[in-house]
Amino acid sequence: MSSMAARIGGGNVNSAWPGVSSRDKRYMGRVAELPCVVCGVHGVQLHHVREGQGMAQRASNYLVVPLCPDCHTGPNGIHGDKSLMRIQKLDEMDLLAKTIEALQ
Ligand SMILES: [Zn+2]
Ligand SMILES: [Zn+2]
């Protein structure tokens, strides 16, 4: 239920994510500048891996992946039937690996 889906838009990372340490924000800000890790579209939201699986409270801010609104909360996205991911045979760990790779 805890929606950590941060709306990125203005680019002012410091005003987003209240309660998040500045170190974490710096990392999340870098991830938020990446294109969607599933479809490559820009203008992403951050999805916490394992979000909504009872681990939300312990979800690390370093376990975030950039997803566009469709791939995130859309009906076929990661919070929907996941078909946009399944088409590419991607699971959350693949998305995380791709995110880390993109940041190198
Ligand atoms: Zn996408
Ligand atoms: Zn999410």
On whether residue 1 sits in a domain, the answer given is: no
On whether residue 7 sits in a domain, the answer given is: no
pLDDT by residue for the chain (104 residues), tens only, comes to 444 444 444 444 556 788 899 999 999 999 999 999 999 999 999 999 987 666 556 678 999 999 999 999 999 999 999 999 999 999 999 999 999 999 99
On whether residue 84 sits in a domain, the answer given is: yes
Number of domains in the chain: 1
Distance 69 CA to ligand 1 centre (A): 7
Q: Is the pTM of this model over 0.75?
A: yes
Q: Which ligand is nearest to the CA of 69?
A: 1
Q: Which residues form the domain of 84?
A: 13-103
Comparing CA positions, the residue from 6, 59, 10 lying closest to residue 28 is: 6
Distance 37 CA to ligand 1 centre (A): 7
On whether residue 8 sits in a domain, the answer given is: no
Beta bridge partners of 45: 7, 67
On whether residue 18 sits in a domain, the answer given is: yes
Q: What is the CATH number of the domain that holds 25?
A: 3.30.40.190
